[in-house]
Amino acid sequence: MREMLMDYLPGFHERAGRMGVPGIPMGHRGLDDLTGGFENGKVYVVGSRPCMGKEEFMLSMLLGIVLKSKLPALLFSTNHLKSDYIQQLLAMHCDIPTLHLHKGYLEECEWERLDKRLGTLLDAPLFVHDSLDLPLDTLLETAQNCIRENGIRIIFVDCLQMIDFAKEGGSPSERIAKVMYSLKQLATLNDVPVVVGSMLGREIEYREGFEGRRPQLTDLADSSYIEELADVVMMVYRPEYYHIYQTETGRDLHGLIEIIVRKNALKPLGSFFLDYHQETGIIESKSRFGSKPVRLKDLGEDNKAVKFLVDSFGLEEESPS
């Protein structure tokens, strides 16, 4: 155990000395606190039924990565054309209804916001590959090339079930397993996070009530393979779509989506609500955690945990900045 701790603790000591989450920030405080952000070598699955706001949720995280963290990201669009996603990103970034952009009719204030904010998108390190029925081998080859040539730090795939794995043998569930295993290998071998959207089964539509409509792991199509191979599984749920406007305790649910973390490898589970603006697709953090993380250097040299790490494992007293 001492040898294994000697391997682990220097990395922990470094993380404790800096601000932020261990992985790439997801852009929503509650989710970052729960998961630690997008960590290298892990696969993240985002599942939902249609019209829940899943794609907007994934795009909101993608925008934060390329604009705030300024990290190169690759998006595989298997369900929409590239132009559709660019339009949605513009709507979210410039706070303009998607329908206005689609029609080409903007109000004067919207033209001003477009003119003011468009420039910040021009140099965003985002790469989009759109292909309906994208072959799995093409996805893997394209990802490898982009990682090598463009320094991609994170990969998004909008829909797992739209990846073309017809060449793979076996049943549909076995083919899904091969795709998930390939994505897991892609993440592990290249030391990048892979985020993939997934459809959910129709059984949800036949259940009733706020709790009944909330998606479970078993609602994932071919769930046994997806949930086993994924490191983190998040569900997107919009009660308002099902005409559910308040919880059993009376909480107002208008304009909210719930992000439910159903699997979180070796970390706690949880859920929280986000504001969802349907016209623009903007998703904003609403929940806040009460506790605040403390950096190692803020504890002081007299703290027992600090003294133990320094004395037992020869770590430096000053944490790296």
Taking the chain (321 residues) in consecutive chunks of 10 residues, what is each chunk's mean pLDDT?
A: 82 66 86 91 96 95 94 94 93 95 92 92 93 89 96 95 72 83 95 95 90 92 82 96 89 93 90 94 68 55 61 57 45
pLDDT at residue number 166: 63
How far is Cα 141 from Cα 157, in angstroms, rounded to an integer?
14
pLDDT at residue number 267: 87
Residues 209-232 as b/e (b if ≥16 CB within 10 A, e otherwise) read ebeebbbebebbbbbebbbebbbb
How far is Cα 157 from Cα 142, in angstroms, rounded to an integer?
12
Could you tell me the pTM of the whole model?
0.84
Query: Where do we find the tokens 């191979």?
Result: 229
Task: List the alpha helices (DSSP H) in the chain.
Answer: 2-16, 29-35, 54-67, 82-94, 98-103, 108-117, 119-122, 136-150, 172-190, 209-213, 223-229, 296-299, 304-313
Length of the chain: 321
How far is Cα 41 from Cα 15, in angstroms, rounded to an integer?
17
Chain mean position to CA 107 = 32
pLDDT at residue number 287: 46
pLDDT at residue number 110: 93
Sign of CA dihedral 281, 245, 200, 268: positive
Q: Which of 270, 46, 71 is nearest to 159 (CA)?
A: 46
